């Protein structure tokens, strides 16, 4: 009987109390409240920068197209006027644009990344970013 009582007294139940679990949940909640808005801000800025960079990378190909053809007429991503019948991607295969419009003397190139549109009206325009399409 003594050994049975000794085993019963020696047995301890371990675990977390409800208060300890609530404290941990509150700490996690506070950390999430700090981290999520910061992450969303980083993501938004990254999308804006990517849209601008894609447009900036396409400008040398646009000017090369003009140099070859003599006008911006027929400027397109995959097909264009002779001698650049393959369009801008024939000049630079890495170009990422979502919209191109052109006349004989002007152009507008645009790329969308997430909710942001990077665009430039050229020649000689400034690369800009907006939440609405401009081409």
pLDDT averaged over 10-residue windows placed end to end, the chain, 135 residues: 57 77 94 86 91 93 90 84 77 88 92 94 91 89
Task: Report yes or no on 85 lying in a domain.
Answer: yes
Task: Report yes or no on 115 lying in a domain.
Answer: yes
Task: Report yes or no on 64 lying in a domain.
Answer: yes
The predicted structure's pLDDT at residue 87 = 82
How many whole angstroms separate alpha carbon 22 and alpha carbon 53? 46
How many whole angstroms separate alpha carbon 77 and alpha carbon 64? 13
Task: Report yes or no on 99 lying in a domain.
Answer: yes
CA neighbours closer than 13 Å in the CB half-sphere of residue 85 = 2
**Total domains present in the chain:** 1
Task: Report yes or no on 6 lying in a domain.
Answer: no
Pull the structure tokens for residue 56. 């900036």
For the full predicted model, state whether its pTM sits above 0.75: no
Task: Report yes or no on 7 lying in a domain.
Answer: no
Q: Cα–Cα distances in Å, from 9 out to 14, 19, 31?
A: 14, 25, 41
The predicted structure's pLDDT at residue 88 = 85
The predicted structure's pLDDT at residue 27 = 95
Task: Report yes or no on 95 lying in a domain.
Answer: yes
Task: Report yes or no on 116 lying in a domain.
Answer: yes
The predicted structure's pLDDT at residue 8 = 55
Structural domain harbouring 85: 17-130
């Amino acid at each position: 009987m003594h050994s049975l009582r000794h085993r019963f007294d020696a047995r301890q139940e371990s675990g977390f109390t409800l208060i300890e679990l609530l404290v941990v949940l509150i700490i996690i909640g506070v950390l999430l409240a700090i981290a999520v808005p910061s992450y969303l801000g980083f993501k938004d800025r990254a999308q804006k920068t990517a849209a601008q960079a894609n447009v900036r990378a396409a400008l040398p190909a646009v000017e090369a197209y003009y140099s070859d053809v003599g006008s911006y007429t027929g400027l397109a991503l995959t097909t264009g006027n002779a001698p650049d019948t393959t369009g801008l991607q024939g000049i630079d295969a890495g170009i990422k644009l979502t919209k191109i419009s052109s006349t004989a003397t002007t152009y507008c190139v645009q790329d969308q990344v997430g909710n942001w549109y990077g665009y430039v009206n050229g020649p000689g325009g400034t690369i800009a970013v907006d939440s609405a399409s401009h081409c």
